[in-house]
Amino acid sequence: MLTLSRLSPHVLYMPADDPDRPALCAVTGSRGTLMLDAAASDAHARLFLDELRDEDIPAPRFVALTHWHWDHVFGAAEIGAPVIAQRQTAAQLRVMAGQSWDNAALAARVQSGEEIAFCEENILLELPEPRHVRIAQADIVFDGHLSLDLGGVTCEIHLVGGDHAADACVMHIPEDGVLVLGDCLYDAIYAPVRHLTHAKLLPLLDRIASFGASVFVEGHGREPNSADSMAELIAKMRAACAVTTDSATSSDDALTAYERVTGHVPDEDARELIAALIAGHAFA
Ligand SMILES: [Zn+2]
């Protein structure tokens, strides 16, 4: 059961859930509420809006998107607030508004390689047919950075990119030390093989660390990350990068090197990271 909880003085949080519902946040200031990410469907958005109402929080004055993927944007029309989006995200919303989202159209796009089976499967679960998808368009468009003064609290949106999506943005709430990461740390899913590249991941890790946040919200995390758990994840990612720099490294050699470098047997996360980084050499 998804419920809203208070993450920090000005931020409310609903964790990610099945089938592919991302975490959602509300930043609450004296001048208004900002919703972070627009939910995977009208029903998902409604759940969040109803929880806000039950907590006597004013309905969102704006909703800001972390990136264009369906599960982060399909609920925007139901929210009904002006949509804030990075320029590339806004362009993708225009493309999506011109597409058909019924099962046959989705299957055809998966067949042509335009859509991926992972998203098709999850759209079918989140939104059984008959499916009415409304793609809200961006009202406020920015390029690199946008700052919102919500009254006693600010939200700074930064384009960070990365392998997962070129338009990936993070939202920093400096007064509360909260950083909303969206899906930026995840692998590239719109590719023939899921992967991560050293060239995109390493600068992104530096950028994330540079905010000095104490609470982190990952797009599909079931709970927020503390500074310690995020530092641990970043260290794991850096170690996985360090043992896969040579494009000729085999998976076995990288796993052995990882254990030698970190003193830990690679866990499932480390194994996945190493596999994704090795696969990434083909896309560098
Ligand atoms: Zn995504």
Query: Where do the structural domains in the chain lie, given as residue ranges?
Result: 5-98+135-283
Query: In which residue ranges of the chain is pLDDT below 50?
Result: none
**How far does the centroid of ligand 1 lie from the alpha carbon of residue 66, in Å?**
9
Give 44's Cβ-side CA count (13 Å radius).
30
Confidence at residue 96, expressed as pLDDT on a 0 to 100 scale:
98
Sign for the CA dihedral angle at 204, 206, 209, 212 comes to negative
**How far does the centroid of ligand 1 lie from the alpha carbon of residue 189, in Å?**
8
What are the Cα distances from residue 118, in Å, to 32, 131, 137, 190, 194? 36, 18, 24, 10, 11
Burial 107-142 (b: 16+ CB within 10 A, else e): eebbeeeebeeebbebbeebbeeebebebbebeebb
**How far does the centroid of ligand 1 lie from the alpha carbon of residue 117, in Å?**
14
Confidence at residue 284, expressed as pLDDT on a 0 to 100 scale:
84
**How far does the centroid of ligand 1 lie from the alpha carbon of residue 164, in Å?**
6
Confidence at residue 1, expressed as pLDDT on a 0 to 100 scale:
56
Please tell me what DSSP assigns to residue 40: S
What's the CATH superfamily of 5-98+135-283?
Answer: Ribonuclease Z/Hydroxyacylglutathione hydrolase-like (3.60.15.10)
| Of 17, 23, 49, 52, residue with least CA distance to 36 | 23
**How far does the centroid of ligand 1 lie from the alpha carbon of residue 141, in Å?**
19
Q: Which residues surround ligand 1, an ion (CB under 5 A)?
A: 69, 183
**How far does the centroid of ligand 1 lie from the alpha carbon of residue 184, in Å?**
8
3-state class (DSSP) for residue 170: strand
Confidence at residue 57, expressed as pLDDT on a 0 to 100 scale:
97
Q: Quote the pTM value.
A: 0.96
What's the CA gap between 74 and 68, in Å, rounded?
10
| Of 251, 116, 276, residue with least CA distance to 192 | 116
**How far does the centroid of ligand 1 lie from the alpha carbon of residue 51, in Å?**
24
